[in-house]
Chain A
Amino acid sequence: MTATLASVPTGTWTIGAPRLLAGLDRYAAIDHAAHLALHGPLPYPDRLRLTALLEDIALTGRGGAGFPFAAKLRAMPQGHGVVIVNGSESEPASFKDRTLLRRAPHLVLDGALAVAAAIGARQVTVAVHDQSAAVAVHRAIGERRDCGLVRVEQVHGTFVGGEARALWRGLHGGAAVPPGRRVHLTQHDTLLSNVETFAHIAVALRLGPRRFRESGTHAEPGTTLLTVGGAVERPGVVEVPLGTPLGIVLSAAGAAPPQAVVIGGYHGTWQRLRPDLQLSHATGLGAGVISVLDSSTCALGELARVAAWLAAQSTRRCGPCRFGLPALARDVAGIAAGNDEAAAFHHAQLVNGRGACHHPDGAVRFVMSGLHVLREETVRHRTAGGCGRPVRGQLAVPV
């Protein structure tokens, strides 16, 4: 199953000065000459300087897990490691990584090459799911002379397969499912991070720590990419300074007055709108997906649809996930049909924490936060047999 959505928001816009998305208001895609004109040449710091820079700007991985990049770098051996750029972007409503790969691939390559040079890596692998992103990366590699170590691998876009350890197994000829035992990739001489993370490195190398810190917050400097969708007039990939209040992003997106907001994708959380919520990775931004549900849709029906999709994403290896997530999905559909929440709470507890990867935990977090936010809806569905609204699909589910 591939994560392909019927409608793809390809627009980009920014709040504040763009860094990763610089030039995309003028160029459909930025070739190497335009890239150099926009950003200047790529500095190649040695390992110590690169580590110090990334520590100074407190850069964390932008795939959702948010691990400090400098710590990964420090754990790598010198001279024979492998750098993997994770472009599988398996979060269905996320488009930021493929947008970077399609339209600003040189920033991503720059970041990966600088890291690879600093640790003397023997290989750089760009793992891509999206076909046109793969084409764009190949084209970008052809435009420059410093990509001898770089290869592009097409990977399947399953939700769980995009998880770091699963991707790593898939690239090594195994099934793209997370291993049962704990695997630390750096122990296998592999430094893996998300596409956006490498683009930030490319920007930071040029700006230096002081200018990099002029945007964002003290704890989380710089910008972040978001994918804003659902009930908004201007869906798309958005670059904002970290710490930007959610209300500002939503009004810039032309959001309808929300019934609920889902932050962090389908392992993220449902929330009631708090316009002053400062967007930060510490508060569960995940891979940066923000989905708005307005009052025209049946929110419980939306929750049930995504719960069913999450159940279908189980790789079916771990029993509690294999049996528990479908049970939970049936419970949520039952709640939309007027049942109470008892069975869902019971099954959520049985699934949580009982698997080899974070899929069951993330799915439970999504469903439980949804049921919490939609308590009044649950009562309405139980007493009136429904809310009379259609399920509009404001939470996109792959076809």
Chain B
Amino acid sequence: MSRLEIDWTRCDGHGLCAELLPRQIARDEWGFPILARTVDDTRAARRAVALCPALALRLRPA
């Protein structure tokens, strides 16, 4: 299992990750991601990490 991690100093709340991983990432009222504890779809998560425009998302071993 892996888990997602956010570098909060980089995240601008674009919201792309929440669109790519709707079951694992919600958005708060300001648009910043709220993460589920663990990641079930590692491939999709990797894609979200790669596409984050702020390079703020990371995948870590749980």
Q: Look across to chain B and name the residue whose beta carbon is closest to the beta carbon of A320.
A: B32
* Contact A317 B30, beta carbon cutoff 8 Å: no
* Contact A323 B9, beta carbon cutoff 8 Å: no
Q: Look across to chain A and name the residue whose beta carbon is closest to the beta carbon of B35.
A: A354
Whether A370 is near chain B, meaning CB under 8 Å from some CB there, is: no
Q: Which residues of B are found within 8 Å of A319, using beta-carbon distances?
A: 8, 11-13, 30-32
Q: Which residues of B are found within 8 Å of A354, using beta-carbon distances?
A: 6, 8, 32
| Residues of A in contact with B, size category | 10 to 19
* Contact A318 B9, beta carbon cutoff 8 Å: yes
Q: Which residues of A are found within 8 Å of B10, using beta-carbon distances?
A: 180
**A-side interface mostly:** loop
A317, B29: Cα distance in complex, Å: 17
| Residues of B in contact with A, size category | 10 to 19
Q: How far is the CB of A108 from chain B (nearest CB, A)?
A: 32
A355, B7: Cα distance in complex, Å: 8
User: Which of B7, B28, B31 sits near A356, CB closer than 8 Å?
Assistant: B7
A181, B7: Cα distance in complex, Å: 7
User: Which of A179, A180, A320 sits near B28, CB closer than 8 Å?
Assistant: A320
A354, B31: Cα distance in complex, Å: 13
Indicate with 1 or 0, residue by residue over A303-333, a CB within 8 angstroms of chain B CB atoms.
0000000000000011111011000000000
* Contact B30 A180, beta carbon cutoff 8 Å: no
Q: Which residues of B are found within 8 Å of A318, using beta-carbon distances?
A: 8-9, 11
Q: Look across to chain B and name the residue whose beta carbon is closest to the beta carbon of A350.
A: B28
Q: Which of B10-38 contact A (CB under 8 A)?
A: 10-13, 28-32, 34
* Contact A317 B8, beta carbon cutoff 8 Å: yes
A350, B28: Cα distance in complex, Å: 7
A319, B32: Cα distance in complex, Å: 7
User: Which of B8, B13, B34 sits near A180, CB closer than 8 Å?
Assistant: B8
A209, B31: Cα distance in complex, Å: 54
* Contact A317 B28, beta carbon cutoff 8 Å: no
User: Which of A177, A180, A181, A350 sits near B29, CB closer than 8 Å?
Assistant: A350
| A–B Cβ pairs within 8 angstroms, 24 of them | A177-B9, A179-B9, A180-B7, A180-B8, A180-B10, A317-B8, A318-B8, A318-B9, A318-B11, A319-B12, A319-B13, A319-B30, A319-B31, A319-B32, A320-B8, A320-B30, A320-B32, A324-B30, A350-B28, A350-B29, A354-B6, A354-B8, A355-B8, A356-B8
Residues of B within 8 A of A (CB): 6-13, 28-32, 34
